[in-house]
Amino acid sequence: VTALLSLAWVFLPLSLVAFGGGNTVLPDIQRQTVLVHHWTTAQQFTEMFALAQAAPGPNLMIVPLIGWHVAGLGGLVVTSLAKFGPSSVLAAAGVVVWERYKDRPWRRRVQAGVVPVTAGLVAASAVTITVATLAGPMTLWLSVPVVMVVALLATGTRVHPLLLLGGGALVGLLGYVL
């Protein structure tokens, strides 16, 4: 029960501040999961994140995965509710009041002001996950090029993300076998 409470305590507040989507809260999820609660190691966290990225559907499916990892089915339910509940209630309320404030200048200023913070948080996610990756079992001679090549391909071309993830896994495997 303590584990369930800590899971809820970690993910409930994050649900409400995840402006700009789930990836903005990823560094804090990592900090709390790895540094504060020691539910996983940094490497495990990165691999779970990668698994969650390989699954279909919304971003940040790592959250229910952490819940499952920590406390089984109960953890899964608690983290799912904590992650999707509060922001969804807020979204529902938002739809109702949206019409009223749509064209107010302060709304545009707030929206534009939040953008750099969102971008910074996504960049922080990339830094956190990349650093954890480079500390993993793969040699740097392989992991650094994989990160860079995938980043370039995903930015400059329309290659399917799943293909890039599969390619990364293949490189990791071949690097060990050969």
Partner 1 sequence: MDETGSAPSPALHRGPGIGPLFLGFLTLGITGFGGVLPLARRMLVQRRQWLTADEFTELLGLCQFLPGGNIINMSVAVGMRFRGWRGALACVCGLILVPTAVVVGLGVLYSRFATNPYLAHAFAGLAAAAAGLLTSLALRTLAPLRRSPVALVIVLVTVVAIAVARLPLVPVMIGLAVLSIWLRPLDRPERAAASPSSPAARP
Torsion of CA 151, 172, 47, 16, to 10 degrees: 10
Query: Which is closer to partner 1, CB of 5 or CB of 166?
Result: 166
Burial of 171 (0-12, 13-18, 19+ CB in 10 A): middle
Least distance in Å: CB of 63 to partner 1?
Answer: 9
Contacts of 64 (CB under 8 A, 6+ apart): 76, 79, 80, 83
Reduced to 3 states (helix: H, G, I; strand: E, B; else coil), residue 112 is: helix
Query: Which is closer to partner 1, CB of 5 or CB of 140?
Result: 140
For residue 128, which amino acid is it? T
Least distance in Å: CB of 1 to partner 1?
Answer: 21
Query: Which is closer to partner 1, CB of 1 or CB of 35?
Result: 35
Query: Which is closer to partner 1, CB of 5 or CB of 131?
Result: 131
Least distance in Å: CB of 11 to partner 1?
Answer: 12
> Cα 31–35–37 angle (5° rounding)?
100
Cα 47 from chain centre:
12
Least distance in Å: CB of 153 to partner 1?
Answer: 8
Query: Which is closer to partner 1, CB of 5 or CB of 169?
Result: 169
Least distance in Å: CB of 100 to partner 1?
Answer: 9
